[in-house]
Amino acid sequence: MMRIFYFLFVWAFIIQVYSAPKLPKSWPVKADKTKLDFKDKVYIAEGNTVLAFDEYTIKAGLIRYYYETGDFEASDNVSIETETNFWQGDYVTGNVKDREIEVGPSQAYIAPFYIVSESGSMGEGKTAVFEKVSFASCDKIFDGNSDWQLESQKITYHEDGHFSADKVVFRAFDIPLLYAPGVSGDKDFFENIELRLGDSSDWGFWVHVGYRFRINKQLSVKPFVEYRTKRGAGVGSELKYKSDRLNMDFLGHYIHDTDPLSDDTINGQDYNGRFETEEDRYRVKTDITYEFTEDIKLVSRIDYISDVDFLHEFYEDEYDDYPEPVTDFDLSWLTEDWEISVNYRPRLNDFYSEVEKEPEIQINLPYRRIGTTSVYYDGNVTFGRYQRLTRDYDLDRPDNIDDDISYDTFRFDTTHSFYRPIRLDWLKITPRAAFKYVNYSDSSESGVTYEDWVNNINNDNRRGLSDELYPVTDYDDDGGSLDRVIGEFGVESSFVLNSVNNDFVFEPLDWNGLRHSVEPYVNYTYIPNPSESVDNIYFFDEVDRIEEANFVRFGVKHYLDTKRTYKDKESVERIVNFEHFIDWYLDDDGEQPQAEQFGNVIEFDHKHRVGVWIKTMNDLESGDFNVFNFGGRLGNKDEEHVTLGFLYQGRYQQSQQYSFASDLTYIYQTEVFPLDYEQTKNIRYSYFVPITETVSFQFSHYWDLDEDDLAIQKYTLIKSWDCWTTSFGVKANDNSYSLELSVSLLPSVSTEHAR
C-alpha cells in the first residue's frame, strides 16, 4: 500500500513540475518592485521600470510584461529612447518578439523632426507611422509655441531617413500659408529648403526659392525659381547622383533678362564691352566622374554659357576663382607601370580664348630602374591636334585692326629622362640627361617674338576694352612641318639632417615631440639652344616656349613634424614646410631677363586652428621685393577666427627658369613664359565671432592699397532662433550694393536639448 501511495505522490509531483509555467531564464524588465502573476502569465514591474530590447529602451512607472506571448503594456509617464530618437506619452503597448510598438497621444523626436501626434506605431521593419501629426524642427512645438509647423493626417518615417506625409499644411505664426496633398523627403528635409531674398543696385528686389528632393539614396534634384524686379524671372535645377562608380553634378539655369547690363548702344543694339547683350541667358554645367575599374576613370566637365558676363553677374564666387571655365573630357588608365590618358577639350563658348585639344593622347612611364643597372628612367609621349582660338568679339576694335588670332597643328611630343643616383655616405648626387623631340605638322614662316606675344596677351581682354590699344601679331601657315630637338643636362646634390626632441610639448596646439629635417640642395640645369626658334612655332603651352637656359638653384628645405591626437587617434603631422632658394643665371644673352632672384615659400598648417602661407621673391641686384604674398587663418573654422591675405607685386619683368627633367618650386604656377608685371598692392581680411550662443557676426574687407580704396566690403549677421535660422548680409563696392536675407528652417539643436 505504501508503495502505491509513494508511486502516486511521485507521479503527481512530476505532473505538477511539468505543468507549471515555463519562466524565462532572464527578464527584459528591471524595476524597483516586481511580482509574477502565474494565472495571467504576466510579469508586473513598478517604480523606475525599464524594458530593453533591440535598440529600444522603454521607461515607465508601470510595465506589465506577458512572458509567454511577448506582449507588454507600459503606463505612467512612458518614454521610449534609442541612440538618437525618443517618444513620450501616457500609454504604450507592443510585442517584444514581433518588435512592434504602438503609442497613444505622444511627443517624439525622430531626427530632425519634433512630432506631436494622436497615435503612432513602429513595426519590425523600423518604420514609424504617426496619425494626425504636427511637426517642426524645434521642441517649442511640444508647448504649442512653435513659430512655424507642418500639419499632416499621416506621416511615415523609414529607418534610412526617408519620410512621406499626407495632406500637409504649412503654418507660420499659426496662420495657414501653404497646402500640399503630399510631401516626401529625408532626414535633411529642413536643410534642403532654400529661401533667399534681398535687394541690390543691379537686380533690384529679388527672391530665390528652391527645394532639394531626395529621389533615392543615390539621386537628388533641387529645382528653384527666382525673380528680380530689375531683371525678370529665372528658373533652374540642380541634380546630384552618387553611386559606387558614378558621381554626377548637374546645373541648369535660365534667366529671361529684361534689362541686361550695357555700357553702349550702337544702331539700336546694346553692347557690354565689345559683346552684344543677351536677354535669354543660361548656363548648363555638368561634372561627371565614372570609374570603369579601379584603374580606368572618366572625368568630364561641360560648362555651356550664354554670354561672357553671365558668370560675373550671377556666379560671382565662381568667377573670382575661375573666370573662364573650360569643357573637357579626360579618360585615364593608371597602373604602377604606365599612365595613359585621352583628353578632349572643345571650345563651347566662343567668347572665351582657348586652346582646343582634338584630342590629346598622353602616355607616361613613371620613374623606374632600368634592369639591374644603376640608371633610372622616366618618359612621356604626348600627341594630338591643337587649335588656338581667340574670343569672337561682336564689335571690331576702334582702330578696325583684326585681332583674331587662330591657328592649328598636329603636335607630337616625346620626352625621355635618365638619372644616375650616387650615394657618397651622407651625400646624394644625381646627374641627369634628357631630351625632348617635338614635331609640328604646321608652323609659321614669319616670326612672332616674345614682345609680340606680350602685346597679344595684353590685347586679349575679357570685355575687349582697355586703356591702350596693343598691336596684334599673328602667325602665318607657310612654315610647313617642323622638327624641334631639345636637350637638358644637369645634376642635383642634396643631403638631409634630422634633429628629434621627444620631450618637446606645446599644449595649446597639442604638439608632442618635434622632428626638424633640413635638406640643403644644389640643382644645376643646362638646356642648350634648341634646334628651332620659338618665334616660328605655334604657341599652345609651355612645350612650345622652351628656350636655352643655364642656371643653378641653391636651396634649403625645412620640415617640422610632430605627434598629435585628434578624435582619439595619434598621428604624425607635418606642421611646417619651408623652402628658400636662389637662382643664379650663368649666361645673359640679353634676349630674356636674367636677374638673379631669391625666393621663399613657407607653409605652416595646423589643420584645425592655425594656417599660414608666405611667398616672397627678391631681386638680388636691387634688393627689392618683386613679390610678397601672405595668407593666414587663426582659430577653428566654426569658432572665432581671423583670416588675412596680403599681396604685393612690384613692377618687374619675370625671370625664366624651367626644367623638364627635374622638379622646381615656383613662386607662380609656371615661369616658362616671362611677363611684365605692374605694381599692385591689396589686402583682404575677415573676422568671424560668435556674439552669443545664438548670434554670430562676420565681416570681410578688400582694400586696394594702390588707390587707397576700400573696394569691397561684406557684413553678415547670423541669428539662430528657436525653430529657424536667419542670415542677413550686406555687400558694397564703389559702384553697387547688395542686401541678402537667407532663411533656414533648421536651428542649431541637439537630441539632448530636446529631451
pLDDT digits (tens, 9 = 90+) for 469-509: 888 999 999 999 999 999 999 999 999 999 998 888 888 77
How does residue 22 score in pLDDT terms, banded at 50, 70 and 90? low
How does residue 450 score in pLDDT terms, banded at 50, 70 and 90? confident
The yes-or-no verdict on residue 8 having pLDDT over 60 is: no
pLDDT digits (tens, 9 = 90+) for 208-221: 999 888 788 789 89
The yes-or-no verdict on residue 27 having pLDDT over 70 is: no
pLDDT digits (tens, 9 = 90+) for 307-340: 999 999 999 889 988 899 999 999 999 998 999 9
**Averaged over 230-235, what is the pLDDT?**
95
- Predicted confidence at residue 18, as pLDDT, reads 46
Residue 231 φ/ψ region, left for φ over 0, alpha for ψ in the -120 to 50 degree band, beta for the rest: alpha
3-state class of 670 per DSSP? coil
Residue 569's Cβ-count burial label (10 Å; 0-12, 13-18, 19+) is exposed
Residue 66's Cβ-count burial label (10 Å; 0-12, 13-18, 19+) is middle
> What are the grid coordinates assigned to 674, written together?
616671362
How does residue 3 score in pLDDT terms, banded at 50, 70 and 90? low
Q: Using CA atoms, how far apart are residues 139 and 157, in angstroms rounded to an integer? A: 18
H/E stretch holding 9: helix 2-19
The yes-or-no verdict on residue 190 having pLDDT over 50 is: yes
Give me the percent of the chain exceeding a pLDDT of 70: 91
671 HSE (CA, 13 A, CB side): 22
- φ/ψ of 299, rounded to 5, equals -125, 125
**Averaged over 239-248, what is the pLDDT?**
95
C-alpha distances out from residue 129 to 60, 125, 165, 684, Å: 22, 11, 10, 53
What are the residues whose beta carbons fall under 8 Å from the beta carbon of 333, sequence distance 6 or more? 295, 296, 339, 340, 341
Q: Using CA atoms, how far apart are residues 276 and 283, in angstroms rounded to an integer? A: 17
The yes-or-no verdict on residue 520 having pLDDT over 90 is: yes
How does residue 109 score in pLDDT terms, banded at 50, 70 and 90? confident
Q: Calculate the average pLDDT of the chain.
A: 86
Beta-strand runs (E) in 370-447: 376-389, 406-419, 422-424, 427-440
Report the predicted TM-score, pTM, of the whole model to 2 decimal places: 0.80
- Predicted confidence at residue 2, as pLDDT, reads 56
- Predicted confidence at residue 684, as pLDDT, reads 94
Handedness of CA 257, 259, 262, 268 (dihedral sign): positive
Least Cα distance to 69 among 102, 26, 19, 22 occurs for 22
- Predicted confidence at residue 594, as pLDDT, reads 54
Mean pLDDT is lowest, of 233-237, 246-250, 334-338, 462-466, for 462-466
The yes-or-no verdict on residue 121 having pLDDT over 60 is: yes
Q: Using CA atoms, how far apart are residues 310 and 280, in angstroms rounded to an integer? A: 11
**Averaged over 716-739, what is the pLDDT?**
87
- Predicted confidence at residue 608, as pLDDT, reads 67
The yes-or-no verdict on residue 572 having pLDDT over 50 is: yes
- Predicted confidence at residue 292, as pLDDT, reads 95
249 HSE (CA, 13 A, CB side): 6
Give me the percent of the chain exceeding a pLDDT of 90: 44
- Predicted confidence at residue 6, as pLDDT, reads 55
**Averaged over 149-161, what is the pLDDT?**
83
